Structure 1
Amino acid sequence: MIDSKTKLYCIFGKPVTHSKSPLIHNACFQKHHMNSVYLAFEIDEISDGVKAMRTLNIKGASVTIPFKESIMKYLDEIDEEALSIGAVNTVVNRNGKLIGYNTDYKAAVSPLRPFCIMNKKVCIIGAGGAAQAVAYGIHKEKGKLVIINRNKERGKKLASKYNAEFISMDKMNQTEINKDAINKTGIINADIIINTTSIGMSPDIETCAFPSTLLDSRMIVMDIVYTPLKTKLLSIAQSKGCTTIDGLSMFLHQGAAQFKLWTDILPDIKLMRQTIIKENN
């Protein structure tokens, strides 16, 4: 029961109505009999969210699109790994001091480790906060990065950080791309494709983050979008015989790491997964 002693946690984003974070975190609070509640706040400016944390004594926050980078300048302290990544997805309110962390990168590489990332060509679609974390993780695992992005300036900036190749989304989306052009980009030789953008996320479920003509059966295709679980990209990739990884694994692992930062309790990921599956049925 919510009362005057209830601790408040939340997620800041735009859009955020699709988020399953309230579902999994509230399930974990209930499991551990904690007088806490987790809510979703859709805001226009992250500065307002940070101000709310201070004013309302919000104990912890998840940060999602499009605020993972912009929130950093409003925090009191940032963890070294989050600083290296250049993005924050978790905030802990420690006695009024707001500290930023990033739980995305470990959660992103975890489902890829069984396939061996070292020396594999890994194409990351996007250059925002999630891409920053995924690129950091792939780089630590010694994968060969290629960055694909609409905004050339942002894409090139991320690529240069890891001495990676950059390819503009415009070039990828050319409908009459010929075989020579494909070979010149090197994309056809990619081992792993990872979509870190919101392309394909509900309600725009018919959009695909990567040209279907460039997918082949030997590729591993991962999408961090988890609403829907099988995005257009994953559906097409599966039809072409690719190995596919949906966004639920990364979502659950980064969420579990957040819960541990806030409460010092490592939650049951099986419970979190079952909670989402039950809600979807």
Structure 2
Amino acid sequence: MSTTTTTVTAAAPQTQPVGELKLESRIDQLDKHGFLFGKKLTASMSPLLHDVVYQGLGLNWEQIRLDSTDMNLFLSLIQHPKFYGASVTMPHKVAILPHLDELTEECRDVGACNTLFLRHLPDGRRLFCGANTDVIGIRESFVQNVPDPSVYENRPAMVIGGGGAARSAIYALHKWLKATCVYIVNRDASEVAAVMAECTERAYGVRLVHVETVEQAEALEGPGAIVACIPDFPPTTESEKLVRRITEVMLRKEKKGAILEMCYNPSPFTLLGALSESEGWHVILGTEALIWQGIEQDKYWTGRETSELPVAQVKETIASRLAELSKN
């Protein structure tokens, strides 16, 4: 199976036509093409994941890396008749929204888009639509990996972090995983305030609780689901150390649960994951969220159901790639 992918880097204006010629040459060899649009895409496994799906379905399709901050370039490229859709990553998940014709419910409620797909009208026009499959990736990470949902349902949940992934986690925990409330733990109080304000504005911020001290954590009921949305670095600042202490209090509660460690780069085997496992928690690797959000994207793009997609092969390929990376 080929895992070769094409990267197009938006260059300076005087050299941009060369990049466009290379892109046109690649597109000519494909039946359909999509993009991974964002910055710092070299380590992304998204094109690899989708390549496995397309090969498994016998499709001559490819997701092409578009490493660029040029929104106008992207909006121009997606007009191509062979374009099928795109993965949208940082820094474009919010910036893309005004350029879309329609948004799915979860895309609108989270306020971020990671998936662009097409809807075809009877008159032949194409609508550019936005979805957020990050929330599905988080949901399915728990549903597919925790056999007994009572481990996390009808219990508090906890999110560590305050960025886009944290917003997606709050939505998934509230919407599908039956969290009675969601604790937010983060080093930056202003980020938490922003998250809580946005969630409240979108009608799912009712049961959010900012956990700010160890004493507060000790008094709270333990969570059944935790989603960690922070990098895998040892805490160094006082605020980072406080976040870790609060997390440790929650992990040591008598009733355990399941934790999804969203960080998987450079390795899904993180310090927080090891700590959680030592405390008796069920640890779900971040690659699970990657896989399930990608499968959901391919449902939009190919029109197939999950049962029709080569999920097992995707899991095997991602596991093999991680094993390779861990040797380096």
Instruction: Confirm or deny a common fold (TM above 0.5).
Output: yes
For 1:46 and 1:235, locate their aligned partners in 2 and report how far apart those are by CA, in whole Å.
40
- In 2, Cα distance between equivalents of 1:206 and 1:255: 29
How far residue 110 of structure 1 moved from its aligned partner, in angstroms, is 2.4
CA-to-aligned-CA distance 1:159-217 (integer Å, 9 cap, x gap): 5342133427xx4xxxxx6x534335x3x7233221234x22xxxx5569851533327
Please tell me the residue identity of whatever aligns with 1:100. G
Residue in 2 aligned with 1:155? 195
Q: Percent identity?
A: 24
In the alignment, which residue of structure 2 is the partner of 1:248?
287
1:163 maps to a residue whose letter is V
Name 1:222's counterpart in structure 2.
260
Deviation at 1:129, TM superposition (A): 3.2
Structure 2 residue aligned with 1:102: 132
Aligned length, in residue pairs = 266
Match of 1:268 in 2: 310
Find the residue that maps to 2:273 and give its secondary structure: helix
Runs of at least 4 residues off by over 4 Å: 45-48, 205-210
Rounded to whole Å, the distance in 2 between the matches of 1:45 and 1:156 is: 31
The amino acid across from 2:28 in the alignment is: S
Partner of 2:18: none
On the 8 A contact 1:104/1:254 being kept in 2, the answer is yes
Partner of 2:298 in structure 1? 259
Residue pair 2:153, 2:224 contacting (<8 A) in 1 also: no
Match of 1:36 among 61, 66, 88: 61
Bigger radius of gyration: 2
Residue in structure 1 matching 2:174, options 139, 144, 150: 139
Residue 229 of structure 2, aligned match among 196, 211, 219:
196
- 1:20 maps to a residue whose letter is M
Partner Cα distance (1:58, 1:38) in 2: 10
Preserved CA contact (<8 Å) 2:162 2:195: yes
The 2-side partners of 1:123 and 1:39 are apart by: 35
Name the CA distance, whole Å, in 2 between partners of 1:82 and 1:90: 9
Structure 1 unmatched ranges of 5 or more = 172-176
Q: How does 1:1-281 map to 2 (within 5 A)?
A: 2=26, 4-6=28-30, 7-44=32-69, 46=71, 48-54=73-79, 58-94=83-119, 96-113=126-143, 114-116=148-150, 117-141=152-176, 142-143=178-179, 144-149=181-186, 150=188, 151-160=191-200, 161-167=204-210, 171=212, 180-183=215-218, 186=220, 189-197=222-230, 199-200=231-232, 206=234, 210-211=243-244, 213-214=248-249, 215-216=251-252, 218-227=256-265, 228-265=267-304, 266-281=308-323
Superposition deviation, residue 118 in structure 1: 2.9
Which residue identity does 1:4 align to in structure 2? D
